[in-house]
Structure 1
Amino acid sequence: MHYVIIGGVAAGMSAAMEIVRTDESAEITVLERGTDYSYGQCGLPYVVNGVVPSLDDVVARSVKTFREKYHMDARVNTEVTNIDVQDQKVKGIDTETKETIEVPYDRLLIASGSDPIVPDWEGVQLKGIHTLKTLRDTEGMMNDLTDNVKRVTIVGGGYVGLEMAESFKTLGKNVTLIQRGQQVAKIFDKDMAELIHEEAKKNDIELILGESVEAFLGKDRVEAVKTDKRSHETDFVLLAIGVQPNTSILKDTGIHMNEQGAIHVNAYMKTSIKNIYSAGDCATQYHIVKQLDDHIPLGTTANKQGRIAGANMAGNPLSFKGIVGTSIVKFFDLTLGRTGLSEREAKQLNLPYSIQTTKANSHAGYYPGGETLHIKLLYHTKTSELLGGQIIGKKDVDKRIDVLATALYNKMTIHQLLDLDLAYAPPYNGVWDPTQQMARKV
């Protein structure tokens, strides 16, 4: 059996390793357009500011390892141009030699990931304007962050924008963040986002809200960002306005995709075309709370979907159970965690919902060192089933978000939180966990 995988990062190499474990006689060809395999993209902001010492530290396995230890035909600098679904062949080009390639497959995995969104703004090709997605992006950015760079502008207030705002500030740069909407981190509700705004201002991050970028000004290198209201002088720009599935090569294949270009897959990671699978940032994910296909590209999901795709391709039937939309990020002294639905999403789905909010101590009030947790829970007004949770604080956000994520996965009601046997000792919790305290009020 000849397996071909497009994409050599999270989903692609998780699938490849699962195929190796499942099918001892597998022939595996991986086509990667970049130069690097199997690295942790989520660690890149921490390489930029030196918290993680080297780019090598975020690489799980090298290209050489896949070739020599696992005997894969692991190619680099290979740009796929189209897929012949009738004859089951992948076609492309070696971007170094410019030679065309053609690789037949018995089973194909599309794990091509996503690309940073770069609008066609005037001046976007000027030097000093960067995106952050790959090891080479990170290397180029770090090389460009010389002592001459005093003012850094970030366009976009999502997770990458927030993480990089902290990273640049750690390096001693003056940081401006421009967000088109009226809040950063729009996956949080506005009342919770205010806490993020306060933390940004506390750390001297200049937030520019409600302005839309129109162009970049400069002769050879960027000198200013022009918005619909004014211009902001800068020495360096990071575009962090989101990502889009890297699926443009599929437009003539008949593979079903959603409006954003993410490939529709079933629970076994199969696409609408026989013998073609997909996983990771370029594929959809079933959302358990929404009960529909969604697209929330995260490294955790990519690795899970990749493993399941590889198992199914090699004949071991496994199913992907879905996501609940859990994510977490560090922003200076705060941890921002969320899972399930926000108010905006609940409204879009026309779900009747109720809200509980509270400020609680991270552990027993009489034990020193506690920090305030700001917690917001959404639950179905009629059934009391949990719909979502958002928690922001300095300490122990992660363990509460993981409890809520588990509760959402199991479709628990807010009342059933009271039945959970959660760990308690004064240095770690109160006798009633803050989430349980909220449940008692309903």
Structure 2
Amino acid sequence: MQKFVIVGGDAAGMSAAMQIVRRLPDASVVALEMGDTFSYAQCGLPYYIGGDIPETDNLIARSAETFRNKYGIDARTYHKVTKIHPSEKTVDFINMQSGEAGTVPYDRLLIATGARPVVPEWEGIDLQGVFVLKTIRDAERIREYVRNGEVNKCVIIGGGPIGIEMAEALSASEKKVTILDRNPQLATAWNSEIAEIAKQHMEENGVLVKPEQNVKGIVGQNGKAAAVETESETLEADLVLLAVGVAPNSELAKDAGVQLGVRNAIQVNARMETNLPGIYAAGDVAVHYHRVKKKDDYIPLGTTANKQGRIAGINMSGEQAAFAGIVGSAVMKVFELGLARTGLSRKEAEDLGMEVEVVTINTKDHAGYYPNAEDLSIQLIVEKSAGQLVGGQAAGKSGADKRVDVLATALYHELTVHELLDLDLTYAPPFNGVWDPIQQAARRF
């Protein structure tokens, strides 16, 4: 009987486990998860806190009991892996509830330990009312604190997707929300013109946005967060959310001799294999090949984790599959606004030595004469010499995601900006104009 061990029970880990049991029904599959929940939707946590999702059970795709009873996977919660022994092909663990230590053997091992929130070494980090958001338990603690505590003023440190989505979630509880970022703009993965649209929309919805803020620490009173101190001012805060980024949980792999790559993520090939025989890695702990940059990158997203987990599981089962890579697509909700992007930003392209031209148009999401047409901003980033499309971004209350999905497909197939004009895209007045907004932008080149 072939023995498979999965370290990590979320998107990548359990996507791989399901591929293995479907292909090798008689195999032994052990999944070790240090938390209490398997296969939950991390991206849905802000919407649970904001009240759009009533219960955390709605965020769980499959429970540990389902994996055990329906699929025959030995899914273990509260099991923390402490060491990997590649030469012996064993994994040491500790049961975090009983304190009992143990070892499990493997023929093939998948490291799917994900990523963790970055927690800066600021004074006051351990005060009551200071939170990160990663797990269901994190979300439950935040929601309970907001609803049961004396919380009126919230400060979010970090202007990326989690920070922005949580600004909306906390505003839904009628709290005064301030969002701080050390960069000149929020949403640094987006170009400044598109990010500015998001900033203005947040301010229209009552969120105070303060870029270029260097945080020094968190001030407490009676053991609770009371204020956030920056280099320029002190902001009162009953709740502080740290959303300054994530780092891959790759220490376990490194200690075992697994090679690391960009941003200390685990280096893998297209088959999700590491440098050590029989050991694979996938998801937020692994590197992600970027098709536009033509090199490995680290952009941890749930979509990529599921894809890489599937590829890992197929290859671990003895079949052949390759990860095609990413093009850097992302979308987030900013109150009523959709903010989407794919490919390279202006800065990313210039950092790679490209000379690019950027065109931004402000148009409507469908035919302007049809009722309820919404403003839509589209931006194309094009490499000048060959007219190669290298990126695209959009912001609007309707249609931003649709347009960026088209651009992501164009990037996957390496279309030029002029070839966008040849795409046969749908048209009817309630849905589009005779020239789709991305084609309107392409005509400017």
TM range (shorter): over 0.9
Q: Which one-letter code corresponds to 2:79 in the other structure? A: T
Query: Which deviations, in whole Å up to 9, do the C-alpha atoms of 1:240-272 show, x marking residues without a partner?
Result: 111000111223322111252200111111011
Deviation at 1:383, TM superposition (A): 1.2
Look up the match of 1:179. Answer: 181
Aligned-partner Cα distance in 2 for 1:208–1:249: 37
Query: Which stretch shows the higher mean deviation, 214-223 or 295-304?
Result: 214-223
Q: Which one-letter code corresponds to 1:216 in the other structure? A: I
Say whether 1:331 aligns with 2:334.
yes
Deviation at 1:147, TM superposition (A): 5.1
Is 1:6–1:32's contact at 8 Å kept on the other side of the alignment?
yes
Aligned-partner Cα distance in 2 for 1:189–1:438: 16
Aligned-partner Cα distance in 2 for 1:344–1:368: 37
- Of 168, 171, 178, 2:170 maps to 168
Gaps of 5+ in 1: none
Query: Which stretch shows the higher mean deviation, 191-200 or 151-160?
Result: 191-200
Look up the match of 1:126. Answer: 127
Look up the match of 2:145. Answer: 144
Deviation at 1:24, TM superposition (A): 1.4
Query: Which deviations, in whole Å up to 9, do the C-alpha atoms of 1:390-416 show, x marking residues without a partner?
Result: 100111111101000000000000011
Q: Secondary structure at the match of 2:424?
A: coil
Q: Secondary structure at the match of 2:405?
A: helix
Deviation at 1:321, TM superposition (A): 0.3
Q: Which one-letter code corresponds to 2:67 in the other structure? A: F
Match runs of 1:65-76 below 5 Å: 65-76=66-77
Is 2:124–2:219's contact at 8 Å kept on the other side of the alignment?
yes
Aligned-partner Cα distance in 2 for 1:52–1:316: 39
Deviation at 1:26, TM superposition (A): 1.2
Aligned-partner Cα distance in 2 for 1:440–1:215: 49
- Of 363, 379, 382, 1:376 maps to 379
Aligned-partner Cα distance in 2 for 1:95–1:228: 41
Q: Secondary structure at the match of 1:137?
A: helix
Aligned-partner Cα distance in 2 for 1:440–1:203: 34
Aligned-partner Cα distance in 1 for 2:262–2:126: 27
Match runs of 1:111-122 below 5 Å: 111-122=112-123
Say whether 1:243 aligns with 2:260.
no
Query: Which deviations, in whole Å up to 9, do the C-alpha atoms of 1:30-64 show, x marking residues without a partner?
Result: 01010000111101111111111110001000011
Aligned-partner Cα distance in 2 for 1:361–1:235: 41
Q: Secondary structure at the match of 1:222?
A: strand
Deviation at 1:318, TM superposition (A): 0.8
Q: Which one-letter code corresponds to 1:420 in the other structure? A: L
Aligned-partner Cα distance in 2 for 1:80–1:209: 40
Look up the match of 1:317. Answer: 320
Q: Secondary structure at the match of 1:82?
A: strand
Look up the match of 2:219. Answer: 217
Q: Which one-letter code corresponds to 2:127 in the other structure? A: L
What is the TM-score normalised by the length of structure 1?
A: 0.98
Aligned-partner Cα distance in 2 for 1:38–1:312: 21
Say whether 1:159 aligns with 2:161.
yes
Aligned-partner Cα distance in 2 for 1:398–1:101: 47
Q: Secondary structure at the match of 1:260?
A: helix
Aligned-partner Cα distance in 2 for 1:279–1:87: 22
Look up the match of 2:99. Answer: 98
Look up the match of 2:301. Answer: 298
Q: Which one-letter code corresponds to 1:376 in the other structure? A: Q
Q: Which one-letter code corresponds to 1:70 in the other structure? A: Y
Q: Which one-letter code corresponds to 1:36 in the other structure? A: T
Match runs of 1:14-53 below 5 Å: 14-53=15-54
Match runs of 1:387-402 below 5 Å: 387-402=390-405
Query: Which stretch shows the higher mean deviation, 214-223 or 50-59?
Result: 214-223
Aligned-partner Cα distance in 1 for 2:97–2:252: 20
Aligned-partner Cα distance in 1 for 2:210–2:425: 42
Aligned-partner Cα distance in 1 for 2:102–2:149: 44
Is 2:379–2:441's contact at 8 Å kept on the other side of the alignment?
no
Is 2:249–2:285's contact at 8 Å kept on the other side of the alignment?
yes
Query: Which deviations, in whole Å up to 9, do the C-alpha atoms of 1:62-89 show, x marking residues without a partner?
Result: 0111111111111111111111111111
Q: Secondary structure at the match of 1:310?
A: helix
Deviation at 1:92, TM superposition (A): 2.1
Deviation at 1:214, TM superposition (A): 1.4
Look up the match of 1:412. Answer: 415
Look up the match of 1:7. Answer: 8
Query: Which stretch shows the higher mean deviation, 209-218 or 337-346?
Result: 209-218
What is the TM-score normalised by the length of structure 2?
A: 0.98
Look up the match of 1:352. Answer: 355
Aligned-partner Cα distance in 2 for 1:179–1:354: 28
Q: Which one-letter code corresponds to 1:156 in the other structure? A: G
Q: Secondary structure at the match of 1:223?
A: strand
- What count of residue pairs does the alignment treat as equivalent? 442
Q: Secondary structure at the match of 1:37?
A: coil
Deviation at 1:309, TM superposition (A): 0.4
Look up the match of 1:204. Answer: 206
Is 2:110–2:281's contact at 8 Å kept on the other side of the alignment?
yes
Is 1:22–1:316's contact at 8 Å kept on the other side of the alignment?
no
Aligned-partner Cα distance in 2 for 1:257–1:294: 12
Aligned-partner Cα distance in 2 for 1:108–1:63: 19
Look up the match of 1:194. Answer: 196
Gaps of 5+ in 2: none
Look up the match of 1:62. Answer: 63
Aligned-partner Cα distance in 2 for 1:60–1:235: 33
Look up the match of 1:82. Answer: 83
Is 1:385–1:413's contact at 8 Å kept on the other side of the alignment?
yes
Q: Secondary structure at the match of 1:226?
A: strand
